[in-house]
């Protein structure tokens, strides 16, 4: 047993001296005996005792419970109540529910010895847990992602500030609520609400990752793309005591992914589909033609006539503006379901889907020629251009996308060789 510094707060003088005598016999140091709440608080502040023995009904003018709260909460000093049995019965449901938080009058020396030791040990254990909890809360609150901790029943135990901001729920209103009530998560790929992830992780005993396209529906209805995972919490014995969810707002990441994808499949200058996306749509058209014998599509391959001269005369900046304007004109010549793509430089391609025959493609080629023949006003200059156009039509779904594109390219070169500002339809016999 280690000697304790003890303060006795008791207004029955004889009882107070008997307690002091017993404590000294047990090897403890009694700092003072007082019947004043004010002096008790001052003594605790000055001497930091290991324990305060406090008569719970010190005086009618003194709120003993309030004084004890000050001692315990402000100075982190354990308190052992001294009470009579009748007072214990009256207060048991409230202040005296914890074991070794009180000692009954009349006080026996053996009971006093045990109560002092247990009260100090219990308080020290409680303080240690509080300190560990505060450290853990500080760590969790300083994390750069949302953290939500649940109990084994899937109910919320705590949330950090980032989780509060993401969900729109404050910790004090979320604690005790079911996980799914606070965290409404939707799997966009499956178009369905996700069941209680905390229970899933706890039952499986393993980490559960959020779906790739997971949306958090916040309290006020905002939809936030989120990612990360939820894992079971194990105690030192390996038993699962709850689950912890890590939650990150991945809105910026999703936007970056979208932009990267767009950069990969769209032309950066004209915003038209590039060769990759155009070929993908052409392959889809080929697959449709394999399933439908009556499905027809055509590809037009365009090369602007004399574009190098425009660049040389007006500069590359004007050349870029010119290409953007041409892209808009080409889009105006086709239907919304068709595709206009840029392959780089002054090469463009057009995919015409679900047409009747080659005449539909030829009519579009003529419309393009007429539209491009109109003067283009750029920075005070009138610029005229034409295009050489190659046309190919699918033939029963047996071709590959790349071969169809090559056929249109071959026809375009034939048109250019014929004197430019022309179109040519690909024929197998003419290109052997």
pLDDT at 27: 87
**pLDDT confidence band for 92 (50 / 70 / 90):** very low
Ramachandran class of 272: left when φ > 0, alpha when ψ lies in -120 to 50, beta otherwise: beta
pLDDT at 232: 94
Q: Per-residue pLDDT averaged across 340-344, rounded?
A: 94
Percentage of the residues of the chain whose pLDDT score is greater than 70: 92
For residues 248 and 146, the answer to whether their CB atoms sit within 8 Å is: yes
CATH code of the domain made up of 143-251 = 3.30.450.20
Is it the case that residue 101 has pLDDT exceeding 80?
no
What contacts 22, CB < 8 A, 6 or more positions away?
107, 109, 112
Q: Taking the domains of the chain in order of start, what are their residue ranges?
A: 5-138, 143-251, 266-431
Class of domain 5-138 as given by CATH: alpha beta
For residues 361 and 391, the answer to whether their CB atoms sit within 8 Å is: yes
Is it the case that residue 107 has pLDDT exceeding 90?
no
Q: What do you get for the CA distance between the two ends of the chain, in Å? A: 106
**pLDDT confidence band for 26 (50 / 70 / 90):** confident
Q: Per-residue pLDDT averaged across 145-149, rounded?
A: 92
pLDDT at 331: 96
- The whole-angstrom separation of Cα 275 and Cα 253 is 26
**Strand 423-425 versus strand 386-393 pairing type:** parallel
**pLDDT confidence band for 84 (50 / 70 / 90):** confident
Q: Per-residue pLDDT averaged across 246-261, rounded?
A: 90
For residues 77 and 52, the answer to whether their CB atoms sit within 8 Å is: yes
Q: What is the mean pLDDT of the chain?
A: 87
Q: Per-residue pLDDT averaged across 25-29, rounded?
A: 88
Give the tens place of pLDDT for each residue, 369-416.
Answer: 999 989 998 888 888 899 999 999 987 656 789 999 999 999 999 999
pLDDT at 38: 86
Ramachandran class of 344: left when φ > 0, alpha when ψ lies in -120 to 50, beta otherwise: left
Give the tens place of pLDDT for each residue, 270-318.
Answer: 999 999 999 999 999 999 998 888 899 999 999 999 888 888 888 888 8
CATH code of the domain made up of 266-431 = 3.30.70.270
Is it the case that residue 91 has pLDDT exceeding 70?
no
């Amino acid at each position: 047993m280690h000697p304790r510094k003890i303060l006795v707060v008791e207004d029955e003088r004889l009882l107070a001296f008997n307690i002091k005598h017993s404590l000294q016999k047990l090897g403890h140091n009694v700092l003072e005996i007082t019947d004043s709440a004010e002096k008790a608080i001052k003594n605790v502040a000055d001497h930091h005792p290991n324990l305060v023995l406090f008569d719970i009904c010190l005086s009618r003018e003194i709120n003993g419970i309030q004084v004890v709260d000050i001692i315990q909460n402000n100075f982190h000093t354990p308190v052992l109540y001294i009470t009579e049995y009748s007072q214990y019965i009256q207060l048991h449901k409230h202040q005296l529910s914890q074991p070794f938080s009180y000692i009954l009058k009349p006080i026996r020396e053996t009971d006093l010895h045990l109560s002092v030791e247990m009260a100090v040990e219990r308080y020290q254990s409680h303080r240690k847990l509080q300190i560990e909890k505060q450290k853990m809360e500080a760590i969790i609150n300083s994390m750069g992602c949302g953290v939500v901790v649940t109990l084994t029943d899937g109910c919320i135990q705590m949330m950090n500030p980032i989780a509060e901001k993401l969900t729109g729920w404050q910790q004090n209103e979320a604690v005790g609520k079911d996980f799914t009530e606070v965290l409404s998560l939707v799997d966009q790929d499956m178009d369905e609400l996700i069941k209680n992830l905390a229970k899933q992780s706890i039952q499986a005993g393993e980490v559960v990752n959020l779906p790739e396209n997971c949306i958090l529906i916040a309290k006020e209805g905002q939809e936030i793309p989120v990612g990360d995972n939820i894992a079971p919490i194990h105690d030192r014995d390996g038993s699962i005591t709850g689950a912890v969810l890590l939650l990150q707002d991945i809105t910026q990441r999703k936007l970056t992914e979208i932009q990267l994808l767009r950069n990969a499949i769209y032309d950066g200058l004209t915003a038209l589909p590039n060769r990759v996306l155009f070929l993908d749509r052409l392959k889809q058209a080929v697959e449709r033609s394999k399933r439908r014998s009556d499905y027809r599509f055509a590809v037009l391959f365009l090369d602007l006539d004399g574009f190098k001269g425009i660049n040389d005369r007006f500069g590359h900046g004007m050349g870029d503006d010119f290409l953007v304007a041409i892209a808009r004109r080409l889009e105006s010549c086709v239907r919304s379901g068709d595709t206009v793509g840029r392959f780089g430089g002054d090469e463009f391609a057009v995919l015409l889907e679900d047409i009747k025959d080659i005449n539909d493609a030829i009519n579009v080629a003529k419309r393009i020629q007429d539209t491009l023949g109109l003067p283009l006003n750029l920075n005070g200059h009138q610029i005229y251009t034409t295009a050489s156009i190659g046309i190919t039509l699918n033939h029963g779904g047996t071709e590959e996308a790349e071969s169809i594109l090559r056929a249109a390219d071959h026809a375009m070169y034939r048109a250019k060789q014929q004197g430019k500002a022309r179109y040519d339809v690909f024929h197998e016999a003419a290109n052997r």
